[in-house]
């Protein structure tokens, strides 16, 4: 087969070698909107927040505290859901019991030696899997510097983003590059550690940046689930340069064990490595269903995995009732049927978190 590379709308025309005939091949994700929208309406709901770290952001109404809570909630969002919630609760409880008493004041105190010393004591003994208190302390020292030098973390991020950018790749690389340089200045030993480096995995390294993409989804979408702290008209956006704001169409889907596996089942990607290239590929496929807001489906798709409604093996009693079953390559192959959308074959391989 020789591909002419010619696109017509959302379809690709493919010409067979030695033949004058062409056939139209659907792109991955084409025609999925009715099925994805059904899952969105069913699971993208505030009552589902109890299974997501985003729930902690709504415990405060102060924009700077929400930004800070979102940062730690997203960065600790790897591993078991119960342990994630326990660790976030532990961190927030330590701050509440501190001399500052409020997260915003606690973060701002990190720019002064007495506050930094007290904060180090507050985080003694804190552990979330392979992260320790010293890792979290350095993370928040970076946040404090962004607040002090740019007005907010959002304002720092937005400086690397142009309204013409298709996605957040450059802006995220730019922010993380600054933070890596700052971290080396503030605490070289911790900055060089493997555990702290996990916080700052960047697109330039090929990482899918699941936790950063999730954080940015919270910042760049505003509806009944996502708070949209960096969207136009928000309190924090008033500090952004030149009236800029993060736009939903620029977001990239957070690929984790659940969304990565489901994306393969749907044929949105056939890549073995769920890195940045795969995240961009899945996002591009989702744009065929929602051009201006492709990541709107992330929360709902993740619920399917988190709530065990989409499993690693075929379960007839689950798969037959799934709203995605008509376009799910995995389920329909197990049922001896062809999916409604022509998409690449998918291998049954184990997903991974980032």
Give the residue-averaged pLDDT of 305-327.
87
Give the residue-averaged pLDDT of 149-154.
97
Is residue 351 assigned to a domain? no
Give the model confidence (pLDDT) of 2-17 as tens digits.
333 333 334 545 455 5
Cα distances (Å, whole numbers) of residue 211 to 44, 71, 237, 296: 19, 9, 22, 16
* Cβ neighbours of residue 59 closer than 8 Å, sequence gap 6 or more: 69, 92
- CA–CA gap between residue 13 and residue 240 (Å, rounded): 44
3-state secondary structure of 5: strand
Give the model confidence (pLDDT) of 252-267 as tens digits.
999 998 999 999 999 9
Q: Do residues 218 and 229 make contact, with C-beta atoms less than 8 angstroms apart?
A: yes
Is residue 343 assigned to a domain? no
Task: Write down the number of H helices and E strands in the chain.
Answer: 16, 5
Q: Are residues 90 and 223 in the same domain?
A: yes
Is residue 131 assigned to a domain? yes
Helical ranges in the chain per DSSP H: 33-43, 63-75, 81-96, 103-108, 113-122, 133-150, 153-158, 169-186, 188-191, 194-197, 210-220, 257-265, 276-287, 298-306, 316-319, 329-334
pLDDT of residue 207: 96
Is residue 353 assigned to a domain? no
Q: Do residues 301 and 262 make contact, with C-beta atoms less than 8 angstroms apart?
A: yes
Domains in the chain, number = 2
Q: Are residues 216 and 151 in the same domain?
A: yes
Q: Which structural domain, as residue segments, surrounds residue 300?
A: 33-43+255-334
Give the model confidence (pLDDT) of 90-110 as tens digits.
999 999 999 999 999 999 999
Q: Are residues 120 and 237 in the same domain?
A: yes
pLDDT of residue 241: 83
pLDDT of residue 243: 77
Give the model confidence (pLDDT) of 68-85 as tens digits.
999 999 999 998 889 999
């Amino acid at each position: 087969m020789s591909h002419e590379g010619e696109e017509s709308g959302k379809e690709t025309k493919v010409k067979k070698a030695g033949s004058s005939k062409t056939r139209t091949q659907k792109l991955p994700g084409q025609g999925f909107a009715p099925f994805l929208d059904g899952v969105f309406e069913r699971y993208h709901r505030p009552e589902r927040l109890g299974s997501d770290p985003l729930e902690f952001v709504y415990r405060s109404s102060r924009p700077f505290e929400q930004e800070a809570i979102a940062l730690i909630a997203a960065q600790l969002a790897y591993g078991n859901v119960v342990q994630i919630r326990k660790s976030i609760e532990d961190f927030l409880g330590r701050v509440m019991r501190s001399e500052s008493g409020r997260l915003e004041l606690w973060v701002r105190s990190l720019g002064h030696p007495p506050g930094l010393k007290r904060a180090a004591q507050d985080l003694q003994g804190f552990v979330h899997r392979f992260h320790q208190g010293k890792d979290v302390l350095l993370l928040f020292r970076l946040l404090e510097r962004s607040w002090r030098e740019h007005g907010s973390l959002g304002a720092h991020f937005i400086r690397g983003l142009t309204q013409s950018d298709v996605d957040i790749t450059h802006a995220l690389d730019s922010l993380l590059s600054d933070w890596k340089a700052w971290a080396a200045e503030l605490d070289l030993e911790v900055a060089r550690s493997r555990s702290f480096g996990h916080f700052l995995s960047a697109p330039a390294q090929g990482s899918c940046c699941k936790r950063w993409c999730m954080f940015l989804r919270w910042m760049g979408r505003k509806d009944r689930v996502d708070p949209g702290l960096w969207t136009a008209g928000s309190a924090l956006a008033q500090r952004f340069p030149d009236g800029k704001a993060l736009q939903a169409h620029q977001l990239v889907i957070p690929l984790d064990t659940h969304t990565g596996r489901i994306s393969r089942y749907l044929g949105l990607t056939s890549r073995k490595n769920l890195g940045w290239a795969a995240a961009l590929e899945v996002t591009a496929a989702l744009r065929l269903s929602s051009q201006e807001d492709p990541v709107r489906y992330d929360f709902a798709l993740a619920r399917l995995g988190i709530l065990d409604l989409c499993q690693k093996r075929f379960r007839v009693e689950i798969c037959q009732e799934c709203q995605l079953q008509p376009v799910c390559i995995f389920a329909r192959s197990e049922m001896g049927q062809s999916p409604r959308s022509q998409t690449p074959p998918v291998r049954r391989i184990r997903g991974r978190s980032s």
